[in-house]
């Protein structure tokens, strides 16, 4: 399999990943967690798990996701708070609410919200 590498600040090391990964969601998509009651907007995608081993080991073994799938960085919210989440593809669904996210950092990264998704600020695109 054709492989590539990228540096992950969260993991503090280079991560080996397939050159092509099948990400179900893209930057700006609004998603919901399958198991926990929160939703968020995708602001980055890792082709495979690229966080720290401590983070991974802190997940109960019976809930621990596979490493060989895309992981998403989310500006997330629940009824109580806003935060940044790191979630495996297997634990995400399209958001059925269809409304915007109330996270305070949304305006720093995104412009418009239309048709259930955000558009990345033009100044942040290549």
The arrangement of secondary structure in 3-124, i.e. its CATH architecture, is Roll (2.30)
Share of the chain above pLDDT 90, in %: 66
Phi and psi at residue 54, to the nearest 5°: -60, -45
Dihedral angle at the C-alpha atoms of 104, 105, 106, 107, nearest 10 degrees? 90
| Range list of β-strands (E), 20-120 | 30-33, 39-46, 71-77, 82-88, 92-94, 110-114, 117-120
The whole-chain average pLDDT of the chain stands at: 88
Phi and psi at residue 94, to the nearest 5°: -60, 145
> What would you report as the CA-atom Rg of the chain, rounded to the nearest whole angstrom?
15
C-alpha to C-alpha distances, 45 to 65, 72, 97, nearest whole angstrom: 16, 5, 22
Let me know: does 13 contact 49? Beta carbons within 8 Å.
no
Closest by Cα among 37, 25, 35, 22 to 97: 37
Q: What is the pLDDT of residues 72-108, one digit of tens each?
A: 999 999 999 999 999 999 999 999 887 899 999 999 9
Instruction: Give the residue extent of every domain in the chain.
Output: 3-124
Distance CA 67, CA 104 (A): 30
Mean pLDDT computed over 25-41: 96
């Amino acid at each position: 399999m054709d492989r590539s590498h990228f540096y992950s600040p969260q993991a503090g090391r280079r991560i080996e990943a397939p050159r092509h990964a099948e990400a179900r969601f893209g930057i700006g998509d609004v998603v919901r967690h399958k198991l926990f009651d929160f939703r968020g907007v995708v602001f980055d995608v890792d082709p495979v798990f690229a966080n720290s081993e401590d983070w991974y080991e802190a997940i109960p073994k019976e809930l621990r996701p596979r490493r060989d799938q895309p992981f998403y960085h989310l500006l997330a919210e629940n009824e109580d708070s806003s935060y940044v989440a790191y979630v495996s593809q297997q634990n995400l669904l399209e958001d059925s609410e269809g409304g915007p996210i109330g996270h305070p950092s949304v305006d720093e990264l995104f412009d418009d919200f239309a048709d259930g998704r955000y558009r990345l600020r033009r100044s942040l695109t290549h």
